Amino acid sequence: MKYTITVLKGDGIGPEITDQALAVLKAAGDKYGISFELREELMGGCAIDEYGIPLPEVTLKACKESDAVLLGAVGGPKWEELPRSKTPEAGLLGIRAGLGLYANLRPAVIYEALRDASPLKSEIIGDKIDILVVRELTGGIYFGERGRSDTGTENESAYDTERYSVAEIERIAAIAFEAASKRSGIVTSVDKANVLESSKLWREVVIRKAREYPNIVLNHLYVDNAAMQLVRNPRQFDVILTSNMFGDILSDEASMITGSIGMLPSASLGNGALGLYEPIHGSAPDIAGMNKANPIAAILSTAMMLRYSFKQYAAADAIEDAVRRVLEKGYRTADIASAGNTVTETSEMGELVVREVLLKQ
């Protein structure tokens, strides 16, 4: 099998971690008879420098023509002062909307070998933590109407709008229920229905949609309580279904309980097989170019690509197993290292995972 992948390395640590992810993907491809045609394009700050805009037409076109997109990370201080529509982050929102990727899947799993890296006590972690955050990605307040009035006066004010339609809620709820049916079957829908009208509609529609999935247990939490429960008793969660902004915040929190934001991959999906795969972290300008970043989130993003877009389950498992074995052998990048570990650089961590993929029986 051959698949076309558009690669958007982006800014900051994006190129360093993506190079390692591609090396691991190639190793898995070699092992399982899958080949990849890679097409590299610019997105984010690097595209602003080259084309003056964060998401050039040529990039979006390449993505649309691909089987999948692999993204590193975008953004950095150099582009922070630009008008909002010209920032690297605008490119990120643009690509999600342009490709119709309305569902963001963010697994948060604590590896046994990384127990010590989690800020949670061992008794709170228990046997395991394995949460899937299903975040709506192309609606809500990040895409709603916004503006300012009385600019420059002492009465200046600004607003953003949270708006969700029934259809938007139904389709993301369906993704969460489908995902839960292949896991432990529990969906926790997170909203702020005690205050927000958009959340009231969210809850009504989720309850209605759940009737199509009689085997799923559906719970509801307000977002403030959910943030607290994630650190108090994270084992109660299987699939968390939530809106764009709440999902953005809760998945960062979930990432930290697994040890480091450098560990968590994500998949952004729409109605077809095309998906965009990226680590959940940003471009980490503070460590960019130092060969210090953890490439595991990017590496695990390629496993998600193999699983969700290509249905190459054995190759996906091989990558995830390889990461687990490297961690079990005590290798760590600086962000997840504790006493007794062998601290590796970004490139060495990539090489170790490649070696484990190739060694797999």
Q: Measured from the CB atom, is 56 or 262 closer to ligand NAD? A: 262
**CA-wise closest residue to 95 among 165, 47, 133:** 47
248 has catalytic annotation: yes
- Tokens of residue 65, six digits: 């023509």
Q: Measured from the CB atom, is 29 or 262 closer to ligand NAD? A: 262
Shortest separation between residue 282's beta carbon and ligand NAD, angstroms: 2
Shortest separation between residue 5's beta carbon and ligand NAD, angstroms: 17
308 has catalytic annotation: no
Q: Measured from the CB atom, is 202 or 246 closer to ligand NAD? A: 246
192 has catalytic annotation: yes
3-state secondary structure of 273: coil
Widest Cα–Cα separation across the chain? 69
Q: Measured from the CB atom, is 29 or 140 closer to ligand NAD? A: 140
Q: 248-286 as b/e, with b when 16 or more CB fall inside 10 Å?
A: bebbbebbbbbbbbbbbbbbbbbeeebbbbbbbbbbbbe
Task: Classify residue 91 by its DSSP letter.
Answer: H
User: What kind and span of H or E run contains 246?
Assistant: helix 244-257
Which among 3, 102, 142, 164 is annotated as catalytic?
142
Shortest separation between residue 126's beta carbon and ligand NAD, angstroms: 26
CA 137, 141, 145: angle at the middle one, nearest 5?
120
Q: Measured from the CB atom, is 243 or 266 closer to ligand NAD? A: 266
Q: How does DSSP assign 151-188, residue by residue?
A: TTSTT-EEEE-----HHHHHHHHHHHHHHHHTTT-EEE
**CA-wise closest residue to 90 among 123, 131, 63, 55:** 55
List interacting residues with ligand NAD (CB under 6 A): 13, 17, 73-76, 89, 92, 261-262, 278, 281-287, 293-294, 297, 335
Q: Measured from the CB atom, is 185 or 270 closer to ligand NAD? A: 270
CA distance 216 to 239: 11
Q: How does DSSP assign 294-322, residue by residue?
A: --HHHHHHHHHHHHHTS--HHHHHHHHHH
Q: Are 158 and 190 in contact (CB under 8 A)?
A: no
Which among 49, 150, 160, 224 is annotated as catalytic?
224
329 has catalytic annotation: no
Which among 11, 238, 248, 335 is annotated as catalytic?
248
252 has catalytic annotation: yes
Shortest separation between residue 297's beta carbon and ligand NAD, angstroms: 6
Q: How does DSSP assign 193-220, residue by residue?
A: TTT-HHHHHHHHHHHHHHTT-TT-EEEE
Catalytic residues: 142, 192, 224, 248, 252
